[in-house]
Structure 1
Amino acid sequence: MRYILVVDDNSDIRRLLSVTFVNRYEIIEADNGKAALYAIRKFHPAAVLLDVMMPGEIDGMQVLDAIKSDPKTRDIPVAMVTSRGQQVDQDDAKRRGADAYFVKPFSPQKVGSWIQGLAH
């Protein structure tokens, strides 16, 4: 089974996203940027669902930069799932290599459709 990494400091968001994919993917959760980078190296997930604002020294944009700048991980699709909904934030994420951008409150079905679209 393929892995999806869900990165968010809010356990309710991680649970909601995990339930959305539970029967199709193995879900890995991380609650901060440092844990996310560890999980990416260990599991090489099929996709990453990534919050922007998280505690600790590494935020979601820095995780995105690390994923997209590493030849071993740059092809992993990354969707930002964040409350930062301004166009400037979305443009910044796209410029950094984000493959999708979902603003909280988001539709789990839309995120699920994006994940399903990756398989085709």
Structure 2
Amino acid sequence: MKKLPQVLIVEDEPAIAELIAINLRHHGFTPVCAEDGPKAQTALDACVPDLIVLDWMLPGGKSGLELARHWRSQPRTKQVPILMLTARSDEPDKIAGLDAGADDYITKPFSVQELLARIRAVLRRRDPLSLGQVLQVGQLRMDGATHQVSYQGEVLKLGPMEFKLLSHFMRHPERVHSRSQLLDQVWGDDVYVEERTVDVHIKRLRQALGSGGGGGAMLQTVRGAGYRLSADL
């Protein structure tokens, strides 16, 4: 029997957590609920989920933002997609969530159908590279077997969305991609993702490449057109 995707719901409002859980269960997911950071960590210690729905505001202890940063820094959970659930609708707050490691966000109040669409979209882009496939552009290398990216032999740390984005660039080196093209080809048909989200992930990807000593320059901004990955620095 095929294993149903497991979703960890970290939400302190029981009515919202139950609403999400019921709908996830109805649509073929296995929901696990946790009302705060410690209970969420206990659930993660027991089983790594396929996706985390994480509320920004949680009682006591760490906020959702702090938890996202922590889980992104841990080898066991760094590749788990995170969907941030927040009542904060201002763009700086949304950007802060993405910068903390969230793959996407949804603002309260939200529709269940939108939430499900976002969850499906995040899971679709979870595995961008076939097992065993290797991509090489200049001194940048991506290995599907180990799920590692290296520049000049040094392994880089990338989040799951940055890995997906880079794999697309590496499949099409030297080609200019507009934001709308990247949304269509990398994010898929999730109509809720804004073009600004592309810029945030490009910034994070460039920073990750730059940590390897110059790799960030490979990801170029083409003014008025979009972005390009080039081996010609």
Q: Common fold, TM-score beyond 0.5? A: yes
Shift of residue 41 of structure 1?
2.2
| CA RMSD between the two structures | 1.3
**Larger relative contact order (Cα-Cα within 8 Å, sequence gap ≥ 6):** 1
User: What SS class does the counterpart of residue 57 from structure 1 fall into?
Assistant: coil
8 Å Cα contact 1:36-1:63 kept in structure 2: no
Q: 1:15 aligns with which of 11, 14, 18?
A: 18
8 Å Cα contact 1:84-1:103 kept in structure 2: yes
Kindly provide the CA deviation profile for residues 19-53 of structure 1, in whole angstroms up to 9, marking residues without a partner as x: 12103111100001111122122120100001011
- Where do 5+ consecutive residues of structure 1 fail to align? none
8 Å Cα contact 1:64-1:97 kept in structure 2: yes
Counterpart residue number, 1:90: 94
Q: 2:85 aligns with which of 81, 87, 94?
A: 81
Kindly provide the CA deviation profile for residues 51-74 of structure 1, in whole angstroms up to 9, marking residues without a partner as x: 011112121111101111112111
Instruction: Give the Cα separation in 2 of the matches to 1:119 and 1:99.
Output: 12
8 Å Cα contact 2:6-2:32 kept in structure 1: yes
Where in structure 2 are the equivalents of 1:1-120 lying within 5 Å? 1-23=4-26, 24-117=28-121, 118-119=123-124
Q: Identity of counterpart residues, as a percentage?
A: 29
Larger Rg: 2
- Where do 5+ consecutive residues of structure 2 fail to align? 126-233
* TM-score w.r.t. length of structure 1: 0.93
Instruction: Give the Cα separation in 1 of the matches to 2:19 and 2:63.
Output: 21
Runs of 4+, deviation exceeding 2 Å: none
Instruction: Give the Cα separation in 2 of the matches to 1:71 and 1:22.
Output: 28
User: What SS class does the counterpart of residue 9 from structure 1 fall into?
Assistant: coil
Shift of residue 105 of structure 1?
0.1
* TM-score w.r.t. length of structure 2: 0.49
Counterpart residue number, 2:139: none
User: What SS class does the counterpart of residue 59 from structure 2 fall into?
Assistant: coil
